[in-house]
Amino acid sequence: MKKFLELKTLIISAEMDAHKFYERGNKTAGVRLRKALMLIKTKAQDIRKEVSAKKNG
């Protein structure tokens, strides 16, 4: 559950940068958003592996 909460926190923090990028046109917020999305993807894959291992093991 800890990893899921970390994922949730990452998504919330990325939301602020998404708003700054899409609404205000802040290019550096776009860079931060892309970085956050990569971390979100990695964290989600880790959670997916953990769930599959627990289900099958």
pLDDT confidence of residue 48? 95
**Could you read off the pLDDT of 18-55 as tens digits, one per residue?**
999 999 999 999 999 999 999 999 999 999 999 999 99
In a domain, 22, yes or no: yes
Domain limits at 41? Answer: 2-51
pTM: 0.83
Amino acid at 51: V
- Number of domains present in the structure of the chain: 1
- CA distance linking residue 16 with residue 32, whole number of Å: 10
pLDDT confidence of residue 1? 86
In a domain, 25, yes or no: yes
In a domain, 43, yes or no: yes
Structure token pair of residue 50 = 């953990």
* Residue 57 pLDDT > 90: no
Helix (H, G, I), strand (E, B) or coil at 57: coil
**Distances from the Cα of 41 to the Cα of 2, 11, 25, angstroms:** 16, 10, 24
In a domain, 56, yes or no: no
In a domain, 21, yes or no: yes
In a domain, 57, yes or no: no
In a domain, 41, yes or no: yes
Residue 1 CA, distance from chain mean position: 15
CA-based max dimension of the chain: 48
In a domain, 20, yes or no: yes
